[in-house]
């Protein structure tokens, strides 16, 4: 039988975090709760969990458990691939960050006169983002996609025919 008077220190979320978004230390607080045997994450581990992504949408007041978080590289499993993209200004949102979900869209070649674009990946995870260089140079973005899509995405990217769109509510 559990001691109803025993208290433990746990992590409570203080800011809305959409699934796929990174957790932050600023979005966590320490709270004392009754030791009920539920596997809430102890406050002592808050710094390491601030490096993880939300697996589900977290609302303020949520007590954090291990199952609610994931490492970005946990999505890089068999059947997935990490693709590097060199994107010029205008090919990705300025505020793009690691952990966000994006749609990968192909652009038609300008020299063909075609106007068709296509969704190459409906929901890719941004794994890394470099700062744009000076003078309007490219920024590097790594995305995790289905392995079957990676050759086509890489081919379009090598020709500068890729655009990323941010999906704020994607899981």
Q: pLDDT (tens digit, 9 = 90+) per residue, 59-75?
A: 999 999 988 888 766 66
pLDDT for position 51: 75
Average pLDDT over residues 24-38: 90
pLDDT for position 57: 82
Average pLDDT of the residues of the chain:
84
Q: Is the model's pLDDT at 55 over the cut of 50? A: yes
7-70 — its CATH code? 3.90.1210.10
Provide CB contacts within 8 A for 76, sequence distance 6+.
82, 127, 144
CA distance 33 to 36: 8
Check: CB of residue 13 under 8 Å from CB of residue 4: no
Check: CB of residue 141 under 8 Å from CB of residue 96: yes
Average pLDDT over residues 105-127: 83
* Stronger pLDDT, 125 or 51, i.e. the higher one: 125
In the chain, domain spans: 7-70, 73-166
Check: CB of residue 65 under 8 Å from CB of residue 37: no
In three-state secondary structure terms, 100 is coil
pLDDT for position 1: 41
pTM value surpassing 0.85: no
Average pLDDT over residues 3-18: 84
pLDDT for position 170: 53
* Stronger pLDDT, 171 or 109, i.e. the higher one: 109
pLDDT for position 111: 65
């Amino acid at each position: 039988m559990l001691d109803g008077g025993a208290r433990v220190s746990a992590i409570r979320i203080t800011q809305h975090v959409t699934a796929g978004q990174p957790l932050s230390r600023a979005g966590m607080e320490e709270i004392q709760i009754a030791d009920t045997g539920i596997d809430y994450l102890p406050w002592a581990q808050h710094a390491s969990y601030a490096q993880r992504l939300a697996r589900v949408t977290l609302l303020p007041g949520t007590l954090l458990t291990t199952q609610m978080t994931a490492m970005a590289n946990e999505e890089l499993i068999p059947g997935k691939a990490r693709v590097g993209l060199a994107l010029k200004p205008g090919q990705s949102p300025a505020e793009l960050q690691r952990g966000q979900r994006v749609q990968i869209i192909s652009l038609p070649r300008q020299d063909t006169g075609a106007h068709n674009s296509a969704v190459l990946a409906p929901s890719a995870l941004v794994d890394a983002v470099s700062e744009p260089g000076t003078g309007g140079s490219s920024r590097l973005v790594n995305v995790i996609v289905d392995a079957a899509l990676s050759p086509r995405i890489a081919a379009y990217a090598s020709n500068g025919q890729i655009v990323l769109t941010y999906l704020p509510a994607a899981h």
